[in-house]
Structure 1
Amino acid sequence: MRFSVFLNARSMAANEDRKLIQDLTSHATIAAELGFDAIFLPDHHFNGYMPIASDSYMYAAYLAAKLPQMHFGFSVTSVPLHHPVRFVERINILDQLTDGKLLVGVGSGTTPEEMIGFGVDYKDSKDISENNLAIAEQLWAKQMDDPAVTINNGPHQGRVLQRIAPAAYSPGHARLMPVAMKEASARRAAENAWPAFIPAFTPPQIGGTEPMKHVSKYFGIYRALLDEAGHSPETIARALDWTTHTYQLVHVAETDEQAREELEIILRAYQNAIEREAEFNARAEADDSNKKTDQTPNALTEDWIGTWCLYGSPETVVEHLKPYQALGIGNILCGTTTGPLTEERLRLGNQTLRLLSEKVMPAFKVAEPA
């Protein structure tokens, strides 16, 4: 089973942005040195949310030059916020820069506030996302002499006469990673032999204390669709190798008691940030086109902790993950910097990296032959 790091830290003020970027670069470098497989980045915008996430493709290119051995992923790109041409161009450039070690999570976005900043109504986001992905496939396939690709998708307009440059490094294009929450998304991943994100909840409830019930359900659907698609065993194995289950917050300490105490400190700061952001989200939900249908529970509740957190001593974390390995999950995505990135939060994040590397990951890694 692979282990990847999710750089999902927040900044609480403009004068903190630069240090956050520097600290996350250091954290990613430590993760690479400790043997983690990939760095995943978010795609979010506005109100001091996640400074690296305003253009995580640019930040990924910067890290790729420093950490050429690493895979890079996005969890997840909000497809309605990206013009299809820029979406394809950026992915192709990163695909080239990483020699194909790229995993592009795709989804329709999370908050109305982010949508309205790009001229997208939240109610239209799913349709715009689906259309953008279809247009992107046309752009990836287009040769110089093919007919023009016309783009007429909400705020995204255009007419592409020539090919996209650069060409992709990977056959066709870099791997996309849909969130396998709906059959259409799971089928898109399965038919293309792409990995998928496997969620631990079922909307409209975002949370719960039985995540494995949901993980098993969505993984089972995706796995059956992979078989139905008629891929070779080797192709299926490659897709499952990166099929990902995400924890927004992973925290490991020497004992369960220490881990729980530190987890609650992290979550209190995280919840304070969420409540600050909620004020701006509420302003964006002022009309019927930008109303959310689901609400995220308080991060200090057992519902949120049970769905989104992995914590404890190394021994406890190993036992927790064994059923996920047995199910067939290929990659565990670990939010190791969740919340405002203070000096203490960074210390705790680096503590988690070290303990995962030294005492958890060896239980799930197959030793290379001598």
Structure 2
Amino acid sequence: MRFSIYLNAQTPGPQEDVGIIQTLARQAVEATRAGFHGVVLTEHHFSGYNTYGDNFMFAAHLASQVPPGTKFSLAVAVPPLHNPMRLAQQCNLLDILTGGELIVGFAAGGSPLEYAGMGRDPGERHAQMAHNLEILEAALAKKPEDPPLEWETAFEHGTLHTRIMPSAFHRQSPAFARATQSDSGAEWAGKKGWYLFSAREKPQALAGRWRLYKQALRAAHAEEVVQDRLDWSMVQKQVYLADTSERAEAEIRERLVLMADNQRRSFGHVKDLRDAAHLKSVVGVSPQNPDEFLDHAMLIGDPASVREQIREYEAAGIRHMAMLFNFGFMTPETADRSMRLFIDEVLPAFTG
């Protein structure tokens, strides 16, 4: 089992932003030096759900701070919110800065507040993602001597005459992943040979999804590729440890109230936007239903119980888990205490 630290701390306001980002950077360095294999960063804007916003820029900074060989995963970049030429360029540059240790995951996102701020329509996000990814792949594959690439999205158009610069570290492009909550998405990723990212689901459901993914991989790719994709495909969980399971659950329920309140405020700003009413749980369960969220999205308890919960995912075929320790407007001390319990009393059981 591999573990990555997942950075996605919520912010209560501008007075806290600088300290939160500094804390996340410190925690990423501490976790990777302690034995975490990677760092995972996500993309969110304007809502307070993610403080740093730009996962490419933050990853570029952290790449020089963490131990060499640390795997960086973006979970995710949201293609409809990007110019596809600039996105291709960012992917290749970050691949170089991480020494080729990069997986860029893609998903449609869906927060109406974020789409509104970027001037996009969330109702078209899936079609726009598929179209923009086609442009991205064509741009990355283009050679200088090829005919010009004419491209057009719902918002922009252009002509690529030469190639995307820079090139990637040691291949045409960095590795890509599909972030999905569906079996059909898992099969699509397997056929493409992309990594699979998932979250907010229980081991039994993930076991079935991973089987479909593995079957699709094996039908189209060599066994070496299959094993590499299974090694680094990922399930993300929010994690909280305390000295007793009862204390952990009681304390985390207070955090879920704060997260649910923030989500309601966020969506309330754009209640009239098309599709906003249907996007309150774009990655599965929501903290507005705390019992379901605890059951599906989290690993909580004392170290022994968290070890047993991870074993269930390991038995389901999961080899890589991204752990989110700093969330729900935690103080640095609270997040540090939980992460330290994991490093001292859970991590050694899986890494030796």
Task: Give the TM-score range, shorter chain.
Answer: over 0.9
1:125 is aligned to 2:125: yes
Q: Pairwise mapping of residues 57-136 of structure 1 onto structure 2 (< 5 A)?
A: 57-69=56-68, 70-136=70-136
Judged with a 3 Å threshold, the aligned counterparts in structure 2 of structure 1 residues 58 and 287 are, in CA distance, closer, same or farther, namely closer
Corresponding residue number in structure 2 for 1:3: 3
- Aligned-residue RMSD, C-alpha: 1.9
TM-score, structure 2 as length reference: 0.92
Q: Pairwise mapping of residues 1-370 of structure 1 onto structure 2 (< 5 A)?
A: 1-53=1-53, 55-69=54-68, 70-182=70-182, 185-201=185-201, 211-232=202-223, 234-247=224-237, 249-280=238-269, 283=270, 285-288=271-274, 291-292=277-278, 295=281, 297-299=286-288, 301-341=290-330, 345-365=331-351, 367=352
1:182 positional shift: 4.0
Gaps of 5+ in 2: none
Q: Which residue identity lines up with residue 116 of structure 1 in the other structure?
A: A
Judged with a 3 Å threshold, the aligned counterparts in structure 2 of structure 1 residues 317 and 191 are, in CA distance, closer, same or farther, namely same
Q: Tell me, what secondary structure is at the counterpart of 1:190?
A: helix
1:187 positional shift: 3.6
1:293 positional shift: 5.3
Q: Tell me, what secondary structure is at the counterpart of 1:9?
A: coil
Q: Which residue identity lines up with residue 189 of structure 1 in the other structure?
A: A
1 CA distance for matches of 2:93 and 2:266? 33
Alignment check: 8 A CA contact 1:199 1:218 kept: no
1:331 positional shift: 0.9
Name the stretch that deviates more: 28-37 or 270-279: 270-279
Judged with a 3 Å threshold, the aligned counterparts in structure 2 of structure 1 residues 264 and 287 are, in CA distance, closer, same or farther, namely closer
Judged with a 3 Å threshold, the aligned counterparts in structure 2 of structure 1 residues 181 and 263 are, in CA distance, closer, same or farther, namely closer
Alignment check: 8 A CA contact 1:190 1:222 kept: yes
Judged with a 3 Å threshold, the aligned counterparts in structure 2 of structure 1 residues 199 and 19 are, in CA distance, closer, same or farther, namely closer
1 CA distance for matches of 2:92 and 2:138? 14
1 CA distance for matches of 2:19 and 2:273? 37
1:199 positional shift: 4.0
1:186 positional shift: 2.3
Task: Note the alpha carbon deviations across 1:283-328, whole angstroms, 9 max, x for none.
Answer: 2x41436552554544462111111110111111111111211222
2 CA distance for matches of 1:200 and 1:98? 28
1:271 positional shift: 2.6
1:349 positional shift: 1.6
Q: Which residue identity lines up with residue 316 of structure 2 in the other structure?
A: L
Q: Which residue identity lines up with residue 217 of structure 2 in the other structure?
A: L
1:191 positional shift: 3.0
1 CA distance for matches of 2:190 and 2:215? 9
2 CA distance for matches of 1:224 and 1:310? 28
Q: Tell me, what secondary structure is at the counterpart of 1:246?
A: strand
Q: Tell me, what secondary structure is at the counterpart of 1:126?
A: helix
Task: Note the alpha carbon deviations across 1:192-216, whole angstroms, 9 max, x for none.
Answer: 4332113445xxxxxxxxx223212
TM-score, structure 1 as length reference: 0.88
Corresponding residue number in structure 2 for 1:204: none
1:185 positional shift: 3.2
Task: Note the alpha carbon deviations across 1:47-100, whole angstroms, 9 max, x for none.
Answer: 4332212x1111110111111422211121111101111111111001001111
Judged with a 3 Å threshold, the aligned counterparts in structure 2 of structure 1 residues 304 and 221 are, in CA distance, closer, same or farther, namely same
1:157 positional shift: 1.7
Judged with a 3 Å threshold, the aligned counterparts in structure 2 of structure 1 residues 199 and 21 are, in CA distance, closer, same or farther, namely closer
1 CA distance for matches of 2:6 and 2:16? 19
Name the stretch that deviates more: 351-360 or 104-113: 351-360
**Count of aligned pairs between the two proteins:** 348
Identity of paired residues, percent? 28
2 CA distance for matches of 1:65 and 1:297? 35
2 CA distance for matches of 1:134 and 1:182? 21
2 CA distance for matches of 1:256 and 1:11? 26
Q: Which residue identity lines up with residue 231 of structure 1 in the other structure?
A: A
Name the stretch that deviates more: 292-301 or 115-124: 292-301
Alignment check: 8 A CA contact 1:200 1:215 kept: no
Q: Tell me, what secondary structure is at the counterpart of 2:5?
A: strand
Q: Which residue identity lines up with residue 327 of structure 2 in the other structure?
A: T
